[in-house]
Amino acid sequence: MYKNTIIIYGSSLGNTRFVAEKLQMLLPGAVLRDSVEVGPETISSFDRLILGTSTWGVGLLQDEYETFMEMLQEQDMEGKTVALFGLGDQQNYPDSFCDGMGKIYELLQNTGIKFIGAWPPDDYDFTTSKALIDEQLVGLALDEDNEPDLTDYRLKKWVEQIKTEF
């Protein structure tokens, strides 16, 4: 059971919400919340956070997630464990694939968080990404626009991985 785990997503068109719901089914007991529903008291109640966002345009976070990240940066994150997942479009935006996930990592990397869930960039076709650090993606990258058939497989493999890292 993953009772001390919360999945927080930002979704404009529903793709990230859809993936977050699938993720919750793979992590029984995990709580699922849209980022607009999350405040400081929610963050302080959980030790394990799974943060998910889409990337808009050339490397931008989903609109409401910008506000959520501002709030999150003001919280005491020391000792929390965080896994990231991001949605992007590697065909139309190969130079900024899943940059939103990379931006979250960048904003939180000096806050005392333990990041888990790094993912190999193999089997993707992008040029550059802010989510690519030391030859690994900082979290699970998904492309619902061009590779929706790979989402379930990637999610299951990633969940197997983060279960051992939590």
Distances (CA, A) of 39 to 8, 58, 160, 162: 11, 28, 29, 25
CB hemisphere CA count around 129 (13 angstroms) = 34
How buried is 74 (Cβ within 10 angstroms: 0-12 exposed, 13-18 middle, 19+ buried)? exposed
The span from the first CA to the last CA of the chain, in angstroms, equals 12
pLDDT of residue 57: 72
Q: What is the pLDDT of residue 1?
A: 67
Counting Cβ atoms within 10 Å, is residue 70 exposed (0-12), middle (13-18) or buried (19+)?
Answer: exposed
Q: CA–CA separation, 112 vs 79, rounded Å? A: 6
* C-alpha span between 17 and 22 (Å, rounded): 9
Count the domains in the chain: 1
Task: For residue 125, give its domain range.
Answer: 5-165
Distance (Å, rounded) from C-alpha 139 to C-alpha 32? Answer: 18
| Domain of residue 19, CATH code | 3.40.50.360
Residue 150 to residue 49: CA distance in whole angstroms: 24
Determine the pLDDT at residue 50. 99
Q: Are 53 and 21 in contact (CB under 8 A)?
A: no
How far apart CA 47 and CA 44 sit, in angstroms, is: 8
Q: Could you tell me which residues are beta bridge partners of residue 89?
A: none
pTM of the model: 0.95
Q: What is the pairing mode between strands 31-34 and 5-9?
A: parallel
Structure confidence at residue 126 as a pLDDT band (50, 70, 90): very high
User: Does residue 129 have a pLDDT over 90?
Assistant: yes
**For residue range 29-65, what is the model confidence (pLDDT) as tens digits?**
999 999 999 999 999 999 999 999 998 777 778 888 8
